[in-house]
Every structure is written in C-alpha cells, then in structure tokens.
Amino acid sequence: MKPIRLKQTYELLQSYEVFKNKNVIISDPIPASKEDLLTFHSGEYINAVEKLNDGNVTKDAISFNLGPGDNPIYKNIFDASLLSTGGSLVAAKMLESGKVDRAFNISGGLHHAMPGYAYGFCVFNDPVIAINHFLTKGLKVAYVDIDCHHGDGVQLAFYDTDAVLTISMHESGQYLFPGTGWVEELGTGKGRGYSVNLPLHPYTSAEIILWSFNQTVLPLIDKFNPDILVTQLGIDSHFNDPITHLNQTAQGFESIVKEFAKSSYPWLAVGGGGYDTIAVARCWSIAFSVMAKQNISNKIPDQYSDMYSVDNLYDLQTPFLDADYEAMVKSYAENSVLGIQKLIFPSFGIR
Ligand SMILES: [Zn+2]
C-alpha cells in the first residue's frame, strides 16, 4: 500500500500524455470531514485515529487494530486517510452533479475498513462513504469489487439494504485474508439477494476470471439497473502479486474494465490492493485510459521505461498451469457461478 505505487501510476499516465486529453480533468482531493466519516465509522474510532496523527503510539491504539501488523501507525495517518477518503467523495460529488460521467480515485478502494477498527491495510472505508453520499441523494448503487480479497467492509455496510447491490469477485477465503466472501453470504432482510460473492481458487486464469465475471456480474448489473456504478479495481489479483495467488493478467483486467466501460451508468472507480507496484501502475493506467476513451500503446515511453526498467504495458508472458490443475480451478469457478445462479438469479428474475 506504499504511496509510491500511486506516484508510479500518475507518472505512467503522464508519460503517455493521457492528461492532455481534452476530456480529462485532474482534481485535488479535499479532506473528508468527520461528518462524512460518521456515516460509517464510530466517533470513538475516528477520534482514536486523529490522536495518532503525530505518529506516536497511544495506549488504546491496539484496541482499534492499529499498531504492529497490517495497520501500522505513521506520521499524518489521519490527514492522509482523510485525503484518500476525500478523493472518492470529490469524485462522487462530481459524478452526482453531472460534471463528469466517469471518475477514478486511484488512492481509494480501502474496502476492508470496519466501523470501529482498521482492517487489512485500510483505515477509513472510502467506497462506503462515497456510496453513502449517493444514497443521501436517493440514488441506487451497484458496487463491483474485483480486488483479490473479499470486499468485506463494503458488504457489511449494505448487508441489509436493497438500495446497494454489492458484488465481490475474489480469491477464496479458504486460502486468503479475510476468510469470508462465500456465495452463501446473500444479505439479510430487505438486503437478501443484494450481496453477491464469487470466490475463485488460487491460480485461476484470466480467461476463467473473465468467464465467471461475464456469467454473473454482467447480468446482475443489467437487471439491477443502478443509477451509479461503483467499481473497486484492486489489482492484487495479478499473477505477479507477491501476497495473493490468482493468475490475472493486464489483458484480463482490461477486458473487465472494458465491460464496465460499455455501460452507460455514471461510473466511480476507486483503486484498492496491488503489491507489485509496477503491475499496479500498468493496470490502473490501462483502466484510466479506457475510462478516458484513449488508446495507449503497449510500448512504454522511454523516460518512464528507463526510470523503472519496464518496457511493456501488457503482460508478454502468462503463467503456465498444467491441464489437471486448470480443470480443477475451472470446476471451482463453475461451482461458484452455479451457486450464484441458483441462490441469487431467481430474485432478479434471471433464468
Ligand atoms: Zn486486496
């Protein structure tokens, strides 16, 4: 989660001159307010994070899951978290006012943050706070999370409402943090059927990921017919990622982003996980250029290429999987797809 990956993404887009495109606007983030945070987080937790802003550890930090481990304390932790959350809110407000029809906050997507504690590298849950903004305007939101990890914090926030359809496609919780995200997590009360989970086996290929996505996510969004589409574009599903095990490629990621781009819904994209920082820069540059309707070439411009020793935007080689193993991951994906078709599709009238 080191911010260098955001700098590397920004620089790569700059080297391709994507920001010179007339239909691209770059906006500064405005720090989120405490009122914004309170739409999801407890006052006690917000105050605890604020007290850590000088970087010194407080006695109660550990009770909010901050300190040694996944959620380290660092100088300006509060200010930085307000900015990444605020970035998603700036984007949400620009969309809602009709100023733009697509927006991407690469520093957002912190989908694990919980109401009262930090979780999985996430302090404040910007997707939830941005979606809450849309809900105050009476808008219906589809949230699609393609990060390698289950979007548990966002699912929790909207588990009992039919105003937000949450869909998370991820490496199975059997093998990866946070251990949740099963097909059977359907939502409760009015929200039953509005929480969708597509778990995949480690080493699932880009082709099978795309097939699973097309079989489930697309028909569900289509039927739900949201006012706003929010996508979390974590790219820790990339085969080079050091902490996860899916075999996504830059090309496979692009195919999914292009499916989102085909729809006409106002579209808020946020970042998310991704721990091979150059894979993050490549994939989010691809996503941004798709959103901006601008083609960028596979050959990375010289200046960037010299600086970071990377020549190609797309993956030249894809991981090899032996036939037996491939058949096994395929049948795992088919089983998840079938589960969604059985448990969720009928309530949407999809056969
Ligand atoms: Zn992740």
Six-digit token pair at 45? Answer: 């937790």
Rounded to whole angstroms, the Cα distance separating 169 from 286 reads 20
Task: Note whether 300 and 315 are within 8 A (CB).
Answer: no
Encode pLDDT of 283-323 as tens digits. Answer: 999 999 999 999 999 999 999 999 999 999 999 999 999 99
SS3 string, 228-247, reads: EEEEECCCCCECCCCCCCCE
**201 included as an active-site residue:** no
**Distance from C-alpha of 18 to C-alpha of 38, rounded to nearest angstrom:** 36
| Whole-prediction pTM | 0.98
State the distance from the centre of ligand 1 to the C-alpha of 187, rounded, in angstroms.
22
pLDDT in tens, 5-54: 999 999 999 999 999 999 999 999 999 999 999 999 999 999 999 999 99
Q: Average pLDDT in the 272-285 region?
A: 98
Backbone CA torsion sign across 90, 91, 92, 93: positive
Task: Report the C-alpha gap between 329 and 239 in whole angstroms.
Answer: 15
Ligand 1 geometric centre to CA of 15 (Å): 27
* pLDDT tens-place string over residues 132-189: 999 999 999 999 999 999 999 999 999 999 999 999 999 999 999 999 999 999 999 9
Give the architecture-level CATH label for domain 4-348.
3-Layer(aba) Sandwich (3.40)
Report how far ligand 1's centroid is from the alpha carbon of 149 (Å).
4
CA of 23 from ligand 1 middle (Å) equals 30
**Tokens describing residue 220:** 């569900």
Are 30 and 90 spatial neighbours (Cβ–Cβ below 8 Å)?
A: yes
Q: Which of 41, 112, 170, 201 is an active site residue?
A: 112
Q: Contact 248/206 with Cβ under 8 angstroms?
A: yes
